[in-house]
Amino acid sequence: MIFDWRYSLFQNAPILLAAGLFFIEIRYSISIIAFNYLDLAGVFLGLWLLYYLTVQKRFYGNHSAYKPTNRQLTGLGLIITITGIMICAALFFEIPAKNDWTAWLAVVLSVILKDCCTLTKLTTIQHKPF
C-alpha cells in the first residue's frame, strides 16, 4: 500500500492552514479574525483561489501525476471517506456548539487521509495494428 503523504500535503495546504488557525483560536480563546462565519468563508475561498492560481496550477503543468484528474481513490480511501462522513455527521449533531472542534478535526483528518490513499491512474498504451 502506497501512502502518498506529499500529494495530500500539497493538495490540502489551505485546509491545514485554516484548521491550524481554527485550533489556535479555540485553544487560546483569541479571535484571530473578527469576522462572522460568512466573511471568514469568503476570505478562505479567496485565499484558496489565490493558492490554486499561483502555486497549484503551475505545479500541475510540470507534474501531471499530481493532478486530481490523474488520481484514483483506493478501496482504503473509500472506506476512510465513508467512515469520516459518518463520524463527522454524528459529531456535528451530537456535540454542543462550543465543543465542535472534534468534528472539525474529524473533517480535516478524513480529507487528508483520503488524499493519502490515492494512486496515479495507470496509463495504457494502445498499439495500433500494422
How many Å apart are CA 120 and CA 69, to the nearest integer? 9
**Band of the pLDDT at 127, cuts 50, 70, 90?**
very low
pTM for the structure as a whole: 0.67
Give the model confidence (pLDDT) of 78-108 as tens digits. Answer: 888 888 888 878 877 776 655 667 777 777 8
Structural domain boundaries of the chain?
5-120
How many Å apart are CA 114 and CA 108, to the nearest integer? 10
List the Cα angle 79/115/107 in 5-degree steps.
70
**DSSP secondary structure string for all residues of 7-28:** HHHHHTHHHHHHHHHHHHHHHH
For the ranges 30-34, 102-106, 112-116, 124-128, which has the lowest average pLDDT?
Answer: 124-128
**Band of the pLDDT at 126, cuts 50, 70, 90?**
very low
Amino acid sitting at position 78: L
- Per-position b or e across 88-113, b if 16+ CB within 10 A of its CB: beebeeeeeeeeebebbebbbebbbb
Give the model confidence (pLDDT) of 7-51 as tens digits. Answer: 888 888 888 887 777 777 777 766 655 556 666 677 778 888 988
- Average pLDDT score over residue span 49-75: 85
How many Å apart are CA 124 and CA 74, to the nearest integer? 19
pLDDT of residue 48: 84
